[in-house]
Amino acid sequence: MDVDLRVDPDLGGAIVGSDSGPAPAAPARRPRPRPRPPVGVSVSVWRQRNFQVLWSAHTVSEFGTRITFFVIPVLALTTLSASTGQLGLVSAMESLPFLLVGLPAGALLDRWDRRRVMVVADVGRAVAIALLPVAHLAGVLSVPLLCAVGFAIGLCTVFFDIADQAFLPTVVARQQTPDGNSRLEFSRSTAELAGPSIGGLLLQSVAAPLVLVVNSVSYLVSALLLCLIRTPRVPLPRTSTRMRTRIAEGLRFVFRHRTLRSLTLATGISNLVGLSGALGAVLTAYALRDLRLSPGELGLALSVGNCGALLGAALSGRVIRRVGLGPVLVAAKSMSGIAVLVLATAAPARAVPTLGVATGIMACGITVYNIGQVSLRQAITPTGLQGRMNASVRFAIWGTRPLGALAGGYLGSVLGTRPTLWTIAGIGLLSCLPLIATEDLRTLRAFPSRPELPDTS
């Protein structure tokens, strides 16, 4: 009797025998599907489609906002001959909505679809900014209209920015939020400094109203990209709790948490005198009037300085791992004050390189600090409080911007731009004191792995 020995693959490779005769053909094996790793755990954020789309929409939207906030004061200065005080008023109206509606926005966003809110906000900004070119063609452009449009854009930006930060933890896993924030913050910081430079370069060849048409289109592009994001529907809480109670819960969580309280205080002080506060109110007049730069030269200086944002985004992760999160936050926060000290020493003969160096220092510090502090806030906040936490923090840190813009415009018109810059630099350096005074934060080495309850001891 003939015996056929063969390996049966369906029996784990065991040798089996059969009687004489040809062995039956083994059934074809289907290739086993390669297991897909959980989203945000072992897959880089760059390989996640939803994050790619979110990052693209975020980048387009941020650049549109920063170019808009640069072009509007230039439009007021060159077309309407606005004073320094009027420029401060225009800047203040752009950030005033964070002071007025930031808190209710956070309470609402913990109950609303955050992606949908971002789409509506982008469309709203596109419509608002499109009013300015129309008004220019109709001959009715005025400073009050610029203030009204700036307020409308700021109102939409309140909802977009709070929803943006609360939406990220639903797109990537919680442990990958620092990585995701690094990419988003790189875009935000780059836009904050490159946006004005691009705006200045565009103003060299295109009239300001036409530049604003491009910005309006950029918001529509961002809205279309956001519509492409597909994430599992996150059940939103259905509660009859009054909005006042929900707002109070968010404020209590932030200001009873020592780490969040220190971050909020430090960031609020720096924003008071930052690019969207007092510094933003005097920078355009300082560069165009005192240093006698053209909008294009100002744009060039800011473009060169934007390399600091690239450096900060590239090195932040490695520096935090090697030095520790707390010390890096303190050092990065002090860099903005140092940058304004350099800026105040500028002279017309060396204005472009001085502004480039100052902007580079500021860009690097802002990028590293924001990557660290935003990721830390998200890491220690429960999911159900993300919207209210972001709104409470934004209320405090962005609510100082209109106050700073008004104060900067006033001081610039009374004292002059250069003495105002020295004052801004001093206050900016003091902004790191709350971080230094909080031992838990100053000595923190790495991001916490899970949310923390407030420590009120």
pTM of the full structure: 0.67
Cα separation of the two ends of the chain: 87
Question: What is the percentage of the chain residues whose pLDDT exceeds 90?
Answer: 23
Query: Which band of pLDDT confidence, cut at 50, 70 and 90, is reported for residue 382?
Result: confident
Other beta carbons within 10 angstroms of residue 105's beta carbon come to 27
Roughly what angle, to the nearest 10 degrees, separates helices 84-109 and 143-171? 30
pLDDT single digits (tens) 292-347: 988 778 777 877 777 887 788 788 888 999 999 999 999 999 999 999 999 999 99
How does the average pLDDT of the chain come out, rounded? 80
Nearest to 306, CA basis, from 343, 369, 361, 374:
361
pLDDT tens-digit series, residues 50-71: 888 888 888 888 888 878 877 8
Which range is least confidently modeled, 107-116, 135-144, 322-331, 372-381? Answer: 107-116
CB atoms within 10 A of CB 54: 27
Domains in the chain: ranges and CATH: 48-228+242-442 (1.20.1250.20)
Lowest mean pLDDT among 132-146, 161-175, 289-303: 161-175
For residue 202 the two structure tokens come to 């565009």
Which of 112 and 236 is assigned the larger pLDDT?
A: 112
Q: What is the pLDDT of residue 61?
A: 85
CA nearest neighbour of 150 among 214, 60, 71:
71
Give pLDDT, residue 3: 42
Asked if residue 343 lies in contact with residue 358, where contact means CB atoms within 8 angstroms, the answer is yes
Higher pLDDT, 359 or 204: 359
Judged against a pLDDT cut of 50, whether residue 36 lies above it is answered with: no
CB under 8 Å to 63, separation ≥6 — which residues?
187, 191, 194, 195, 198, 218
As a whole number of angstroms, the distance between CA 336 and CA 404 comes to 15
Tokens representing 190? 């780059």
CB 285 within 8 A of CB 77: yes
Residue 393: which residues within 8 A CB-CB, separation 6 or more?
A: 254, 260, 263, 264, 267, 377
Res 434: pLDDT: 94
At 241, which amino acid appears?
Answer: T
Distance CA 310, CA 451 (A): 30
Chain centroid offset of residue 333 CA: 16
Given a cut of 50, whether residue 1 has pLDDT beyond it is: no
The reported pLDDT for the residue numbered 213 is 85
For helices 143-171 and 351-379, give the axis angle rounded to 10 degrees: 50
CB 367 within 8 A of CB 309: yes
Res 452: pLDDT: 64
Does an H or E element contain 327, and which?
helix 325-344
